[in-house]
Structure 1
Amino acid sequence: MKLQHLLVVIDPSRKDQPALTRARWIAERSGARLELLACEFNPALDNALLLAQSDLEQGRQNLLDERMAWLENLAAPLRAAGIEVKCQVRWGKPAHRQIVLHCEQSQPDLVLKSAHHHSLLKRLFLTNTDWQLIRHCPRPLWLVQHGQWRGRRLCAALDPLHASDKPAALDHRLIVAARELEQRLMMQADYLHAYVALPHTLAFNAELLADYDNYVLRTEAHHREAFSALLAQYPDIDRSRTHLGQGFAEEVIPGYVHDNDIDLLLMGAVARGQFDNALIGQTAERVFEEVECDLLVIRPVT
């Protein structure tokens, strides 16, 4: 994953812009150029029966011009700091569709968007736009947490058994992205795989119950072997930074993030079914709802 062109989705409804703050931090360390994007839509200017089409078009253009001036104001201090910045506005709804269309046209290396923060639980609150972007954004998507950013540690959550990604391509994309961020942004990268054996209470026959302890050991060995085989393709990864966690991923991953002060979690968005080929898996959805850090979501190449 390159870090040359960053698309920053600006939210006109909020005063703070965590995604823009994070993008500046990345640009200062990587030399990336920024593209600020704001999406606008007002139903009153979309199709009013008592107004001429030319008046509607002028009203829309006036609103877009105001938004462009606002973006240029946000860009000014970045340019003063030596960062190349371009501003874009789009008219239309829904917002996620406009963002996806813009990504397809401009092909950024990374998309950054502010996610909402639940102040009581210290967790991300993902809006419908966030979920739709997770499902459909064609470029890596960085959802930015509102809070203190240390920028020291990242963790890539891997699935070496490829339950949802049989060619293993997504695991490799995650590892490549983690290594790029580690090198360019001077972050320490960890690699985590969580696995779980069939719980004792769900053992379905007497033979499995009688040999349950050995079954658990075999399950661990199977996952450890697959994890090691994946990492063996990257001999320069420090093995002390690789971790095999026993338990449900939606519990192990958030626990690891919390206990190790992870600033950025990398996860893959995978296919759920033949017709929902852009949907994210249920496990990842549960993980996203529990973590307290930034999220970088990467989808398989289609």
Structure 2
Amino acid sequence: MSKLLVIADVKGDGIATPRGLELANKLGLNAEVYAFVYAPLSRLKVTAAEKAAIKKRLLAEREAEVGSRISKFSRDDQKVKLKVLWEKDVADWVSKKCSKSNYQMVVKTGSQTESFAHASTDWQLLRECPAPVVIVAEKKWRRTHLVMAALDLGSRLPAKKKLNADILRRAIELADAMSANLEIISAVEVPTLLDDLDLIDTHSYVEDAKEDMAPHVRALSKQFAIPEKNFVVKRGPVEKVIASQAAGRRAQIVVMGTVGRKGVKAKLIGNTAERVLTHLKTDILALKP
């Protein structure tokens, strides 16, 4: 059976574990929960045996804590594997694990902080993890049943068109599993410089873009048996359009694509998924091309 990897929360209410177990159950996946512990013990003025005892104690406490959470939120017939690891670089470990084993997705609670000098685990996973990544929001809207797919309907690049199809497949799978409705959102971003200099007619630019998107919408509508009325196109920066539409429709999860970048460029110019995360207040499933 296919499987899902959950990164247990280090602290707080442990949103990733119950949300991950719920997703695994609804999608019919086995769940593997990995909890990480690390503390710099090298500077402690104790013997090697005492350091080993401290490490063993920390691992045992973490296992008990996460195990209790799993017992509380898993179903009686649900297969859940728990592993507690002494590891400092969580993102790197998870990325390597996913490159060696086939996971349908990785689930992690989102963190909205990052500095130039140190990329957070969220950003590292979005850029480097070979498996799709679900970043879950600690607080999100309740009592709504909507899955939202964010597509780039303006691109005619084969890779982007394939990614659009992959996003829709995942979104449909989630909507079916969650007994939710499906809506597709796409943005028409007007070039700010040209608009500021009055070099284009904004209304005409947007209408022309929507007209260019129409054949793509019709093709996807036919391919996936989705009513064309479920496709929504709005003007504005991609991240703001997606976040605004998700908030207005109270989407439970947004499925979208991301292009992983590495190095300084990634820290200076975050990809679309990273920018959306700073605005979005619900779960997001990010897929790579």
C-alpha distance in structure 2 between counterparts of 1:249 and 1:99, whole Å: 29
Structure 2 residue aligned with 1:255:
244
- Pair 1:270-2:259 in alignment: yes
1:126 Cα deviation from its structure 2 partner: 5.1
Name structure 1 gaps, 5 residues minimum: 117-124
- Pair 1:92-2:82 in alignment: no
Structure 2 residue aligned with 1:42:
39
CA contact (8 A) 1:11 1:17 kept: yes
What secondary structure, in the 3-state scheme, does the structure 2 residue paired with 1:233 have? Answer: helix
CA contact (8 A) 1:31 1:83 kept: no
User: Structure 1 278/227 Cα, relative in aligned 2: closer, same or farther at 3 Å?
Assistant: farther
User: Structure 1 80/292 Cα, relative in aligned 2: closer, same or farther at 3 Å?
Assistant: closer
- Counting aligned pairs with the same residue, the percent is 26
C-alpha distance in structure 2 between counterparts of 1:60 and 1:70, whole Å: 15
1:240 Cα deviation from its structure 2 partner: 2.1
Structure 2 residue aligned with 1:7:
5
Q: Give the residue type in structure 1 aligned to 2:177.
A: R
Report the TM-score, using the length of structure 2 for normalisation.
0.82
- Pair 1:33-2:26 in alignment: no
Q: Which residue, 267, 283, 287 being the options, matches 1:294? A: 283
Structure 2 residue aligned with 1:188:
181
C-alpha distance in structure 1 between counterparts of 2:9 and 2:153, whole Å: 37
Structure 2 residue aligned with 1:152:
145
C-alpha distance in structure 2 between counterparts of 1:226 and 1:24, whole Å: 36
Structure 2 residue aligned with 1:68:
63
Q: Say which is worse superposed, 170-179 or 48-57, in terms of deviation.
A: 48-57
C-alpha distance in structure 1 between counterparts of 2:155 and 2:207, whole Å: 20
C-alpha distance in structure 1 between counterparts of 2:132 and 2:234, whole Å: 26
Structure 1 residue aligned with 2:122:
130
CA contact (8 A) 1:162 1:168 kept: yes
Write out per-residue CA displacement over residues 137-163 of structure 1, whole angstroms, 9 at most, x where no aligned residue.
Answer: 221111111235436111010013338
CA contact (8 A) 1:192 1:243 kept: yes
Name structure 2 gaps, 5 residues minimum: 115-119
1:274 Cα deviation from its structure 2 partner: 10
Write out per-residue CA displacement over residues 29-55 of structure 1, whole angstroms, 9 at most, x where no aligned residue.
Answer: 3343221111111112xx348555555
Q: Say which is worse superposed, 158-167 or 172-181, in terms of deviation.
A: 158-167
Structure 2 residue aligned with 1:109:
104
Q: Say which is worse superposed, 219-228 or 173-182, in terms of deviation.
A: 219-228
1:288 Cα deviation from its structure 2 partner: 1.6
Q: What count of residue pairs does the alignment treat as equivalent?
A: 281
1:284 Cα deviation from its structure 2 partner: 3.2
Structure 1 residue aligned with 2:117:
none
Q: Give the residue type in structure 1 aligned to 2:109.
A: S
C-alpha distance in structure 1 between counterparts of 2:49 and 2:14, whole Å: 34
Q: Give the residue type in structure 2 aligned to 1:286.
A: R
User: Structure 1 159/89 Cα, relative in aligned 2: closer, same or farther at 3 Å?
Assistant: same
1:296 Cα deviation from its structure 2 partner: 1.1
C-alpha distance in structure 1 between counterparts of 2:279 and 2:63, whole Å: 36
1:172 Cα deviation from its structure 2 partner: 1.6
User: Structure 1 247/277 Cα, relative in aligned 2: closer, same or farther at 3 Å?
Assistant: closer
Structure 2 residue aligned with 1:173:
166
1:19 Cα deviation from its structure 2 partner: 1.5
Q: Give the residue type in structure 2 aligned to 1:195.
A: V
CA contact (8 A) 1:178 1:189 kept: yes
- Pair 1:228-2:228 in alignment: no
Write out per-residue CA displacement over residues 217-272 of structure 1, whole angstroms, 9 at most, x where no aligned residue.
Answer: 323312333343444432x1122211111222122211111111111111111145
Note the aligned Cα RMSD (angstroms). Answer: 3.2
Write out per-residue CA displacement over residues 66-117 of structure 1, whole angstroms, 9 at most, x where no aligned residue.
Answer: 322333222223456322111011222222222223333443212111225x
User: Structure 1 141/167 Cα, relative in aligned 2: closer, same or farther at 3 Å?
Assistant: closer
